[in-house]
Amino acid sequence: MARSYTEFDNLTSNILKCAYDVHTKLGPGLLESAYKECLSYKLQTLGLFVEKEKAMPLIFEEVKLDCGYRIDILVEKTIVLELKSVEALNDVHTSQVLTYMRLGEFKIGYLMNFNVSSLRNGIKRYVL
């Protein structure tokens, strides 16, 4: 069953609240893995279905290739979260999120860089 816009709005609102909470409590400067574990935990405490390091196979024609692509966090089997802790986001990070969205046919994705003083400056939303 397809999700309504209201369900997506509520889901993305909860994701962003959790991300801001994690960033507020931990601050910038940690490894990506620390933010991933804490954000996953926060999302799960809300009762959301969370998959960490979700394998994303590449299907080319009739061949399924296990190339080692992994989504950092997939929420409710619908929203891709790609987390970073880098000096600055660049085009390859954007391409990564968009590729995961396209391969998995996901409509919404977030690229989150936790290595910023204000998380507002580290979040990019993508919609296909």
Question: Residue 33 to residues 6, 29, 43, 52, 63: CA-CA distances in angstroms?
Answer: 31, 12, 15, 10, 31
Beta-strand ranges (E) seen in the chain are 50-55, 58-60, 63-65, 70-75, 79-84, 108-113, 123-127
Query: CA 123, CA 61: separation in Å to the nearest integer?
Result: 34
Range of the domain at 118: 5-127
In this prediction, residue 6 has a pLDDT band, given cuts at 50, 70 and 90, of confident
pLDDT digit string, tens, across residues 9-21: 899 999 999 999 9
Query: CA 118, CA 19: separation in Å to the nearest integer?
Result: 11
Q: How many domains does the chain fold into?
A: 1
Whether pTM exceeds 0.85? yes
pLDDT at 4: 67
